[in-house]
Structure 1
Amino acid sequence: MRLSVIGCGYLGAVHAAAMASIGHEVVGVDVDEAKVAALASGAAPFFEPGLDELLSAGLASGRLRFTTDMAEVAGSAVHFVGVGTPQSKDGHAADLRFVDAAIDALLPHLSPGDVVAGKSTVPVGTAARLAERVDPAGATLVWNPEFLREGWAVEDTIRPDRLVAGVPAGEEGERAAAILREVYHTAVATDTPFIVTDYATAELVKVSANAFLATKISFINAMAEIAEVTGADVTQLADAIGHDARIGRRFLGAGIGFGGGCLPKDIRAFTARAEELGRGESVAFLHEVDAINLRRRERAVQLVVDALGGSAHGKRVTVLGAAFKPHSDDIRDSPALDAAVRLRGLGAHVVVTDPAAIENARRVHPQLDYVADRDEALRDADAVLVVTEWDEYRRELDPEHAGSLVGTRTIVDGRNCLDPEAWRAAGWTYRGMGRP
């Protein structure tokens, strides 16, 4: 099929390349000329494992191209809209300017029978509003939320764990759902659940999934706060309750908390929309989920200060990690950088290292010192703070080797990803999050 993807940021670029890889002819459109030029050369302007290879293969096959000219979407059977919905500058609500602008630019190029598939994360009610603008062109709007994990986005797009399509009622919706099944033919052929629902449910699936994951993370971090004043070990606690099939162990990793471009903004936008609908009390607990998450950043910094004898002033602190999670260079609302900036504000000489995110971090926080080489970053450190669980720190960093580089063997494990016994055996003062 001929497809277009409007918006070639993280979501759109991955979606365009993945759709081309399963046989579709895809044109990606973005207003950012530099981004389009990078993608057209086969180099993504962000780090995502496997994406460059997918881009190069798609471009070489002739099935994938990128442009700034919206007119080139004409003739596509399905138009995916994957632009960003950041948090508003003056509140917690989602900023829908980019979604509205994308629809406005697309309308003149639609033909009767086209399908417009929204993939952006939007407040419930947005799809119904946009459908009123798309209908006069003879096109059908569907809402097809994404469930990508940064670092595994290529896999999640080609082999998703479920597909959701919010469609209008009647034959029009049935036809649109059938077209989406054709688009995702490889996943459908392997019996991936394909859930057809109404607009509102499809919109809520995405935000409620993120709200649940955020709640699960903040729950175990709340338990870490109790563990810290009782002497309990939150990691053993998570193991024990995680054996209950109703709870499960995934996302019960206590530590410095979540960040990134999705969970924080999505739970805030969800609460803002619920309040607009007069049901703010239904998700009021998400305010505390957010508050717990932010408190864990403060706690990680306090652990470093305590380990330094009560003051970070003049001390050299090495921060291992800048991205909000491993296998990504995304620094949006990164707990790692938040902690680094807080420590610098307390007078520490902060050195940050990361396998992928240094340049992004430097652009936003030039006041920090950055060192690409891990071992060089560790040299002469008075304390080390682990905040992004890259394998370079979690598995490959030997306590004895690291000890030969630092000035003082003091480490704060902001992700509870290290073996305390191994580090203590090597003479380190080890402090975890919710661990004795």
Structure 2
Amino acid sequence: MSDAALPRLTVIGTGYLGATHAICMASLGYEVVGLDVDANKIKKLQSGEVPFFEPGLPELLAKTMESGRLRFTTSYEEAAAHGDVHFICVGTPQQPGSDACDLTYVDAAVRGLAAHLTRRCLVVGKSTVPVGTSARLSDMLRELAPAGDEVELAWNPEFLREGFAVDDTLRPDRLVFGVASDWARDRLHEAFRPILDLGTPTVVTDLPTAELVKVAANSFLATKISYINAMAEICEATGADVRDLAKALAYDDRIGGRFLQPGLGFGGGCLPKDIRAFAHRAEEIGVGQAVSFLREVDAINRRRRSRTIDLVRELLGGQLDGKRIACLGAAFKPNSDDIRDAPALDVARTMHGLGANVRVYDPAALDNARRAYPELRYGTSALDVAQDADVVVLLTEWAEFREIQPSALAQVVRNRRIVDGRHALDAEAWRAEGWEYRALGSP
């Protein structure tokens, strides 16, 4: 297919999902306009700056801006005039004071775009929404768009892993197209042609199923993580070793080793809010009992944070007040600057509240952490925050933390005590250097 035959794309919302999608699609040869109502985000992107940390994306942004295939705007009118296929990529956070999903930004994006849709086009939701949202948005588009029934809605859930988003966009493990017509299916095929040409598995389904795929996947992954952490609680009570238990389970092909890593648990902007919103929506439609287990999955995950603090307290003889604690990590996972529902910062903030002298270092998330938690103290490196520490706590498993030499860290701390909240370190190597080493679920 020639470039001239490719549909022109718009991406509404230039946060993590939207900016990544816009940049990657432009790199595949599409003419793309990215839209956001936040003029500061647009200004940064227009100047070639990615407003968040994601490996490989800044280089790709520079390349696509230079090619002329990518531009950014705050004008819905400009976006509507450009696009044949419009992707909705705005955030769907948890509602304040509720487990429900906040659809304010999705509704605003669809309304803002619809008013300017004067010809046949496809609007594609990528945001994670409660099942049933697409039916309501389809009615909204028909009612508000000047083109009326000529505007169709489809759903194409995203499956990005932070730190691997470029590869996940350009070489995904699957594509899901939720459509209501053959025309919508064909438009989506054209909008993803280079990716489909790689042989990417594709599931074409109805709109409600496509809406469910992302939350169902995240709920399964969250359940698997909480399962092994529930086993860690059993191991702590019995003297068993959860790392060996996980290793033995992973050899079973039906179970597998991925997401069977014991430790501090999950966080970020997806898994926690998605499982809560899924359970909430299930209750709304009368099938809450079917996913009631997700409430316990969430509870197990939260308990890991308090249990990590318990390990620190045990190493300090029961007293946190006045103790110097070095926290390695702030982001919810490595290769990201995302601190949304980050277990690392939750632990650091709680220990600070209990009177500890806490210092935090993270390779990418310090600016975000400082803005969110100015009451905490921050350092410039792992060795910096560990200076005269009574205990070191590994909270995010960045490669540079995994590779720290126990002997090097021993030179700066007051006491050789470490809590490995992610099972990322070699316990024997640290103990051999005279460290008291503790980890969740390990003897």
The bucket for the TM-score relative to the shorter chain is over 0.9
1:357-403, CA deviations, whole angstroms, 9 ceiling, x for partnerless residues? 00100101001000122211111110000010000101x20000111
Contact 1:110 1:137 in 2 (8 A): no
Give SS of 2:10's match.
strand
1:201 to 2:222 alignment: no
* C-alpha distance in structure 1 between counterparts of 2:375 and 2:246, whole Å: 37
Which of these residues, 24, 39, 43, is aligned with residue 37 of structure 1? 43
1:268 corresponds to which residue? 276
Which of these residues, 65, 68, 81, is aligned with residue 62 of structure 1? 68
Give SS of 1:66's match.
strand
Structure 1 runs of 4+ off > 3 angstroms? none
Any residues of structure 2 matched to 1:322-337 within 5 Å, and which?
Answer: 322-337=330-345
1:17 to 2:23 alignment: yes
1:105-142, CA deviations, whole angstroms, 9 ceiling, x for partnerless residues? 00122233201000000000001111112232511100
Contact 1:317 1:348 in 2 (8 A): yes
Which of these residues, 412, 426, 434, is aligned with residue 419 of structure 2? 412
1:146 corresponds to which residue? 158
* C-alpha distance in structure 1 between counterparts of 2:316 and 2:133, whole Å: 50
* C-alpha distance in structure 2 between counterparts of 1:313 and 1:7, whole Å: 44
* C-alpha distance in structure 2 between counterparts of 1:403 and 1:95, whole Å: 47
Give SS of 2:194's match.
helix
**2:132 partner letter:** G
Any residues of structure 2 matched to 1:34-433 within 5 Å, and which?
Answer: 34-73=40-79, 74-135=81-142, 136-168=148-180, 173-394=181-402, 396-433=403-440
**2:130 partner letter:** P
Give SS of 2:308's match.
helix
* C-alpha distance in structure 1 between counterparts of 2:251 and 2:441, whole Å: 20
1:286-306, CA deviations, whole angstroms, 9 ceiling, x for partnerless residues? 000000000000000110011
* C-alpha distance in structure 1 between counterparts of 2:387 and 2:368, whole Å: 23
Contact 1:111 1:137 in 2 (8 A): no
* C-alpha distance in structure 2 between counterparts of 1:185 and 1:378, whole Å: 51
| Pairwise CA distance, 1:242 | 0.8
* C-alpha distance in structure 2 between counterparts of 1:179 and 1:137, whole Å: 16
Which consecutive residues of structure 1, in runs of 5 or more, have no partner in the other structure? none
* TM-score in terms of structure 1 length: 0.98
* C-alpha distance in structure 2 between counterparts of 1:429 and 1:375, whole Å: 18
1:78-123, CA deviations, whole angstroms, 9 ceiling, x for partnerless residues? 0000000000013100000110000000012223320100000000
Contact 2:10 2:82 in 1 (8 A): no
| Pairwise CA distance, 1:57 | 0.7
* C-alpha distance in structure 1 between counterparts of 2:335 and 2:116, whole Å: 37
1:152-172, CA deviations, whole angstroms, 9 ceiling, x for partnerless residues? 01110111000001111xxxx
**2:22 partner letter:** A
* TM-score in terms of structure 2 length: 0.96
Contact 2:92 2:128 in 1 (8 A): yes
Cα RMSD over matched residues? Answer: 0.8
Give SS of 2:115's match.
helix
Identity of aligned residues (%): 59
